[in-house]
Amino acid sequence: MKKKQSIAILTGGGDCPGLNAVIRAVTKKAVFDYDMDVLGIEDGYEGLVENRFRKLETHDVSGILTLGGTILGTSNKANPYKYAVEKSGEVSFHNVAKEAIRNIRKMGISCLVCVGGDGTLHIAHRLFCDGIPIVGVPKTIDNDIRGTEITFGFDTAVQIATEGIDRIHTTAQSHHRVMIVEVMGRRAGWLALHAGVAGGGDIILLPEIPYDLDKIAKKIKARSKKGKRFSIVVISEGAKAKGGTEVVKRIVKASTDPVRLGGVGFVLADQIEKVTGSEARAVVMGHLQRGGSPTSFDRVLATQLGTKAVDMIIRKEFGYMVGVQQGTFVNVSLKDVAAGPRFVPPDNPLIKSARSVGTCFGD
């Protein structure tokens, strides 16, 4: 009797609405269409290093389409090529990739499906270069993965952030305040741009466009003179003033990417009060943007990406990520994905549209 083909799947990086929809799609298509065995790696690359996995049956993934988070767990710290080990209160990093690769090969799988953002997929590319068959699936609420125009999780985050901005409007109007809504986006401002436009933000500040405080103050004062005694500012956590740096919230020593941004909204609120005399308050959307049930769009996209990933495995198209370009699913080399994030270009059509309706970008 011919041995069943086996594949494995892991979810890495921050959690994101739609991860369970991908796990469901990969598992069900692999089982129903190709009679494969599917293994789920627990807690991302940490599970590879520690050899923690379990078999996924179709009943394990039934009913998870609408759930946020990931039933497999995840980690945004674990990197087999730079793995944190704490001893006597001191953190040191070790290359344990050989151990992770050995564990993968012991599983007897024909391919590892890596679902994650640019960090997860960068590691996936290194594993592929070290001989592991890999297929990638793009995931991030930031929508900043190179080689794809859209990632699942982004639509849900935009909806959540937009609802937050909508709710801020009423209190801003009532108290005649400048309200600042800080959203995620360390290096790319796609989330702030889309949510800011959808929520009617008067000022939108992105990492790609360093802002001038005087320009922001001028916009706020101009609105006040016209009888608009409030303003809404939507700002990416990675936004910075011209000639300035990002606002760092804390340093996580055990992480390969130790810098955690956050708090730029509060810094800007203090600055705005000083230069305009207007009362300013800041709200940080934070992890609310990553939680909860995915939108119908993200459920559909995640399902399509998951099933396409299995098709790629059957065709032995390893070393690629499933991407979306001009509405079509395409294979994107993991080497290209690993080159860095996809930024918002200054001439993006949505930026042009926003400027046309009076939105200020601080420049």
- Report the candidate in 302, 15, 231 with the shortest Cα–Cα distance to residue 140: 15
Three-state secondary-structure class, residue 63: coil
Question: Which amino acid, one-letter code, is at 255?
Answer: S
Q: Measure the CA angle with vertex 175, ends 272 and 356; round to 5°.
A: 60
Q: Return the bridge partners of 203, or none.
A: 233, 360
Q: Measure the CA angle with vertex 278, ends 275 and 283; round to 5°.
A: 100
CA distance 213 to 234: 14
Please count the residues of the chain: 363
Known catalytic residue at 270: no
Q: What is the 3-state secondary structure (H, E, C) of 181-221?
A: EEECCCCCCHHHHHHHHHCCCCEEECCCCCECHHHHHHHHH
Q: Which two tokens stand for residue 117?
A: 């953002």
Query: Residue 360 contacts by C-beta under 8 Å, 6 or more apart in sequence?
Result: 202, 203, 204, 215, 216, 219
Catalytic residue among 37, 43, 142, 298: 142
Residue 158's Cβ-count burial label (10 Å; 0-12, 13-18, 19+) is: buried
Please give the positions annotated as active site.
142
